[in-house]
Structure 1
Amino acid sequence: MSDTTANLRHKIASAGDLQAVVRTMKSLAASSINQYEQSVRALGDYARTVELGLSICFRAIDPVSAANGAGQGADAGVIGAIVFGSDQGLVGQFNDRVADHAVKTLAGLTHQVQDAARRQPRVWAVGERVQARLADAGLAPTGHFAVPSAVAAITALVGEILVATEAHQRQSEFSVLYLFYNRPSSAAVYAPVDQRLLPLDDSWRRSLTDAPWPTNNLPEVIVGDTEANRGANRGADTATLRALIREHLFVSLFRACAESLASENASRLAAMQRADKNIEELLETLNATFHQRRQSAIDAELFDVIAGFEALAKPRRSAQRR
């Protein structure tokens, strides 16, 4: 026999320990999904407030000023991208799917650029795993960020991303900025999506401008009641627009990061469910084999006892016949 009962008992104990770890990871992943989804829902009211503020600024400022405040003015054709992935494994095809989507989308966008020197996009990777996938695909990341381990750490990550991208944008290294991340759809299902972060989408800006205000009193930016301050209202409008755009960028990055983390944990949950099922099947096979071997050993021992008894009893029966 290739496996003794002692070896089988050891394998069963090891598989049981592994199953306990897998089920713990399942519980943590399910709990994390709920936290990240709640953070996205809580962000909705603040995002709505920022959009209302932007709608007022877009009404008050001419399109050229709004476009400049939205992040235009850099050299055309250079594309920047932020790709959200994971630092840890056991997430199935999570990183592969978002990396493939980013590579294909960026290839289609950069193909339209005439200047070959500007076809290489500036890419920032969030997560070591997706960074490796992008590098293997020929997109060497310009920068790398660690994936936050909790909802409270997302704000710090968003601040780091904004500082890094603004520094490169001031140097005219890119004119368009895209986000790539996985978005949960239902249960453990997710899909890679992309969003143009800068410059602001024209149709989205027009929809905000044309949207009706929820009350009959339209707000306006006022810096003071004096005559001198009234002349500064135009500058205040522009400053307010820039501040609201920064908040819009923050909201977009925060939502993308939270949805990516929810998708990551959904993918991990699905992977752990498959692992749990496989371990359960393995345990059933090992237990069946263990009981079969144990029963075979017991039967062999009984046969030995009976054979010994028969060997001892045979001379006695022969003597009695004499």
Structure 2
Amino acid sequence: MSGKLGEIEARIGATHQLEAVVGAMRAIAAARARDAHARLAGIRACAAAAGAAIGDVLAFDPSSASTSATHADEGAEVCIVIGAEQGFVGGLNDRIADEALRRPLASPRHWLLVGTRLASACAERGMGEAWSVPMAAHPAAVPHLAARVSDALYARLADGERATRVTLTHALPGESRLRIVQRTLIPFDFARFEVTPRALPPLVNVAPARLLSGLVGLYVSFELCEALMLAFAAENEARVRAMLAARTNVRQRLDTLSQQYRAMRQDEITSEIVELTTGREAAQRTRD
């Protein structure tokens, strides 16, 4: 009986260690999610400055927007899909992969996948050849990752297949239920920018169309950076939820093991009492 008690004690000790690991993973994920949220304000401020500059260019030369516009139905589509790099995020990657593949294939597509686990989920669903890159391991690495994705994007926009449409799919943080968004980056929507006419136009040293093209590229880069940071926060919030569920399961397992230990210990004590009583009675009969 004592051997079984020792085995249960060992399992209880291992479960306590697992609970500590789960708690540490939850704390790390929560800290990373907070860090990502804190960095969003700076990214959005930069995007707002670029948007204000776009509005200024449109104010003194509205025709420059038409020269930058493209027809989305004429070429291929570039699909940027952002998922998770590591596990313990529930069904996050599966949901993102399903959403990315949900629309019918209307034109050739180039896939840009961010996140090793997401790339695996897409491959399991029969996605063809795709460019992929690991997701950032911490928020400070997101701007560098955004630059890599931007380079891959513009390489495909400039290739011979004339990709003219770019979509972006990722998860959103801060939701009680997992929410996946899919939006269009290109064709670029100029209508969202406030255009305030000026009495005197600003002094520029380059052609308005060229200036606007550069500002659009900068704004798209900021949009990518924001999406990556949101996806990073969503990944870590999903991990926090997964760790909370794991902690509940671990504690239930601890309760079960503790009950088994107490019941077995009680059985052992009862057996010892019976053995002592039987031995005493046997000794007394021998003396009589």
Q: TM-score, normalised by structure 1?
A: 0.83
Counterpart contact for 1:189–1:266, Cα < 8 Å: no
Match of 1:12 in 2: 12
Aligned pairs (5 A) from 1:270-281? 270-281=241-252
**How far does the alpha carbon of each residue in 1:29-82 deviate from its partner, in whole angstroms, 9 at most, with x for none?**
11111011111122222221111111111223344x324435x37881411101
Name the CA shift for 1:94/1:219 in 2 (closer, same or farther; >3 Å): farther
Q: CA deviation at 1:137?
A: 2.3
**Matching residue's letter, 1:181:** H
Aligned pairs (5 A) from 1:22-171? 22-63=22-63, 65-69=64-68, 72=70, 76-105=74-103, 107=104, 110=105, 113=106, 119-171=107-159
Q: Distance in 2 between matches of 1:184 and 1:310?
A: 72
Any unmatched runs of 5+ in structure 1? 114-118, 224-232
Q: Distance in 1 between matches of 2:183 and 2:246?
A: 34
**Matching residue's letter, 1:263:** A
Match of 1:180 in 2: 169
Q: CA RMSD in A?
A: 2.2
Q: CA deviation at 1:209?
A: 4.6
**How far does the alpha carbon of each residue in 1:261-300 deviate from its partner, in whole angstroms, 9 at most, with x for none?**
1110111110100000000010011011111101211110
Q: CA deviation at 1:315?
A: 2.6
Work out the number of aligned pairs and report it: 287
Q: Distance in 1 between matches of 2:221 and 2:145?
A: 10
Q: CA deviation at 1:207?
A: 3.6
Q: Distance in 2 between matches of 1:129 and 1:268?
A: 14
Counterpart contact for 1:23–1:276, Cα < 8 Å: yes
Name the CA shift for 1:166/1:67 in 2 (closer, same or farther; >3 Å): farther
Q: Distance in 2 between matches of 1:94 and 1:289?
A: 36
Aligned pairs (5 A) from 1:211-222? 212=196, 220-222=202-204
Name the CA shift for 1:217/1:97 in 2 (closer, same or farther; >3 Å): farther
**Matching residue's letter, 1:32:** R
Q: Distance in 1 between matches of 2:87 and 2:179?
A: 18
**Matching residue's letter, 2:221:** F
**How far does the alpha carbon of each residue in 1:240-275 deviate from its partner, in whole angstroms, 9 at most, with x for none?**
212211211111001100100111011111010000
Q: Distance in 2 between matches of 1:147 and 1:133?
A: 14
Aligned pairs (5 A) from 1:222-233? 222-223=204-205
Rg larger in structure: 1
Any unmatched runs of 5+ in structure 2? none
Counterpart contact for 1:58–1:209, Cα < 8 Å: no
- Alignment partner of 2:267 out of 276, 286, 296: 296
Q: Distance in 2 between matches of 1:74 and 1:277?
A: 49
Q: CA deviation at 1:192?
A: 0.4
Calculate percent identity across the aligned residue pairs: 25
**How far does the alpha carbon of each residue in 1:208-260 deviate from its partner, in whole angstroms, 9 at most, with x for none?**
254x47xx77762433xxxxxxxxx5x1x223212211211111001100100
Match of 2:227 in 1: 256
Counterpart contact for 2:88–2:239, Cα < 8 Å: yes
Counterpart contact for 1:131–1:141, Cα < 8 Å: no
Counterpart contact for 1:154–1:257, Cα < 8 Å: yes
Larger mean Cα displacement after TM superposition, 283-292 or 189-198: 189-198
Counterpart contact for 2:54–2:216, Cα < 8 Å: yes
